[in-house]
Structure 1
Amino acid sequence: MSISIKNRVALVTGANRGIGKAIVETFIAEGAKKVYLAVRNVASTKELEEKYGDKVQTVQLDVSNTESVNKAAELAQDVEILVNNAGIGTPHGTLGETAEADFMNQLNINAFGLIRVANAFAGSLVKSKGAIVQMNSVASIKNFPPLSTYSASKAAAYSLTQGLRVECGAKGVHVLSVHPGPIETEMAKTAGFPEMSPTSVVSEGIVKALANGEFHLFPDEMAKMFEGAYQSFSENIVMADMQG
């Protein structure tokens, strides 16, 4: 299912910085009609508001809070493309006294956050025959021990994204699962990656993947290495209909 950004209304969670900000800028450059800047702190989008004027509108949205997500959905009922970009990635191993609490926190935002936003905006997306873009990670298909709890939370989010592909696809909504490697963000810097790709690689890749009707996007150089190794499993297992 091909989805064009041109003349579409989008909402991007975590739109104030990093990949989210790049997505906003790329969508507008590609002709988006309007982009909702969905953030926890509404003061954090002033720069984007000044730059793009009435092309953007800030809405308060905390993916960890169902009430907050539902309120944003009530306000932005014209959303056609939902980008669930907001997430956290604190470095933590599987062992340790704080491992359980850390995993619960990351799971709440990275996986339960997806359920919250998908359910809240499903109605408008079905009506517009739009799309959900979920920001996953290469860590969703391989656990990186220094980021073990993050990897597990993203694996859960990726599994949910596969479920959405089937359920939403049956209602005319396209789903795109994005799996970047190290990108130039505060999260990646905190994790200590020595080489990182620019955020534009992800944002521009999303536009192309939506236009091509793809489910998976491995946008950067490291991610494409994963794509090559993962392709057979993806085609024969993940994308296969095993219900019959």
Structure 2
Amino acid sequence: MEISNSVALVTGANRGIGREFVAELLNRGVAKIYVASRDTASLKDLLKDGDSRLVALPLDVTDPDQVAAAAKIAADVTLLINNAGYAAFQGAIAAPDTDDARREMEVNYFGTLSLTRAFAPVLAEAGGGALINMLSMLALVSLPMAATYSASKAASLSLTRSLRAELGAQGTQVVGVLAVQTETNMGAKLPEPRMTPQEVVADALDAIQAGTNDEIIAGNQTRAIHEAFVADPKGLQAKMSTRLPQRT
């Protein structure tokens, strides 16, 4: 897909990887970006320069009414980037309850599903367009200190593969982005070293530009971990399983 002159929607655009997606899309010459966030006040700094290509969009991906409204407002989208995410970084048993686990599934899995369902007809109308789902290497290897987040990303990876199959008939390109810890507010809770958001975003958009219709391994650090996973998946899982949650 050609990114130049495309119309993008980025969820969780107010910070971290989402904000870097916005910056890089502008650099690559998009015509418009719907910058979506649960609280549009958090977009103030992003919008301060008055770039007319940026359109603020209130969007909680767990709210069906807001998702439906977004699909009507942003009916010209050709590139949908499901970036919004939530991570509690808790163990499955060590967590005090299952509230955060449910929230992770609501945002990371059901939010992605709901938004993609809403925008599938929009992308079809655009001739197919493209979809990026921000995943995680924790979709492949479970980290006990982020147990339920890992589970939500594993579900999202499975969903991404099914979406690719279903949307193939309408010509929609679907890229799932696997990445390790990145220098963001969320990633700061994971150990160093951490990648930069720029590494992740550049690889993701390069994949879209190249016509990739698959998962990609974003960033050199992720590629090193993925190589270890491919070589010895059980060995890597055993190593990750030593990283247990801290009980309070």
TM-score with structure 2 length normalisation? Answer: 0.88
Which residue is equivalent to 1:11? 9
Q: Which amino acid aligns with 1:176?
A: V
- Please point out which of 67, 72, 75 is paired with 2:73: 75
Map Cα deviations across residues 12-48 of structure 1 (whole Å, 9 max, x no partner).
Answer: 0000100000000000100111000011111111222
Superposition deviation, residue 97 in structure 1: 5.5
Matches within 5 A, 1:55-74: 55-74=53-72
Query: Given the superposition, is the C-alpha separation of residues 92 and 217 from structure 1 closer, same or farther in structure 2, using an over 3 Å criterion?
Result: same
Distance 1:40 1:90, change over 3 A: same
- Residue in 1 that maps onto 2:200: 202
Paired residues in the alignment total 230
Describe the shift of the 1:52–1:202 C-alpha distance in structure 2 as closer, same or farther (beyond 3 A). Answer: farther
Say which SS state the counterpart of residue 51 (structure 1) adopts: coil
Question: 1:170 aligns to what SS in structure 2?
Answer: helix
Structure-2 separation of matches of 1:122 and 1:183: 29
TM-score, normalisation: structure 1: 0.90
Alpha-carbon distance between aligned partners in 1 of 2:134 and 2:97, rounded to the nearest angstrom: 23
In structure 2, what is the equivalent of residue 121 of structure 1?
119
- 1:166-181 aligned at under 5 Å gives the runs 166-181=165-180
Q: CA deviation at 1:229?
A: 4.9
Q: Select which of 212, 223, 232 maps to 2:210.
A: 212
Q: What's the C-alpha RMSD, in Å, of the aligned pairs?
A: 1.7
Distance 1:147 1:31, change over 3 A: same
Displacement, 1:52? 5.0
Aligned equivalents of 1:180 and 1:157: distance in 2?
13
Q: Contact 2:181–2:190 at 8 Å: present in 1 too?
A: no
Instruction: State whether residues 4 and 207 of structure 1, in contact with CA within 8 Å, keep that contact through their aligned partners in structure 2.
Output: no
Conserved 8 A contact 2:134-2:178: yes
Equivalent residue for 1:90, pick from 88, 101, 113: 88
Name the aligned partner's letter for residue 81 of structure 2. V
Deviations 1:162-211 (A, max 9, x none): 0001011121100000011111001111x232211111011111111112
1:223 match: 222
Structure 1 residue runs without a partner (length 5+):
233-244
Deviations 1:110-132 (A, max 9, x none): 00001110011111111112011
User: Structure 1's 182 and 50: CA in aligned 2 closer, same or farther, altered over 3 A?
Assistant: same
Q: How has the CA–CA distance of structure 1 residues 75 and 178 changed in structure 2, closer, same or farther, with 3 Å as cutoff? A: same
3-state SS of 2:24 partner: helix
Task: Give the structure 2 partner of residue 161 of structure 1.
Answer: 160
* Counterpart amino acid of residue 170 in structure 2: K
Identity of aligned residues (%): 34
